[in-house]
Amino acid sequence: MDQQLQLDQQQLVSAWQERLPSFMDDGDSFSVQADEADRKSMLIHFNAAGRQSYSLDFRCTYVDSREVAVDLVDVERAGLHTDERTDAVQQMAQRYTRQIHECAQALKDVTNP
């Protein structure tokens, strides 16, 4: 039986901003912000390195102290909404999803004190 998850959303956002770069590829950039609609969620925006100018937005929601649900919310290319079903986008989405999960595991000391 899992305890009710008690998270300080701002503390969590700060921890993610600090730890996530260590899981990312060189040249990629990101931002993390609290999801105002859900205190267990954060919005993570990735800017992919390279000339393609892709950006991907994810919602990361804590299911419990160790596990997150990751949803791809939006994909843009050069500032315009683009099809998220292309192979290139799917590969990037899988890579970023894996990085989010790895970061969540690394932060379990914050979420499960």
Where are the domains positioned within the chain?
9-111
Q: What is the pLDDT of residue 5?
A: 62
**Residue 2 confidence (pLDDT):** 41
Query: What integer pLDDT is reported at residue 113 of this predicted model?
Result: 66
Distance CA 55, CA 77 (A): 6
**Mean pLDDT over residues 33-60, rounded?**
93
Give kind and range of the element (H or E) at residue 29: strand 29-34
Q: At what angle do helices 9-19 and 87-106 cross, to 10 degrees?
A: 110
Other CB atoms closer than 10 Å to residue 48's CB: what's the count? 21
pLDDT tier, 86 (very low <50, low <70, confident <90, very high otherwise): very high
Q: Is 33 left (phi over 0), alpha (psi -120 to 50) or beta?
A: beta
CATH of domain 9-111: 3.30.310
> Widest CA span of the chain, in angstroms?
48
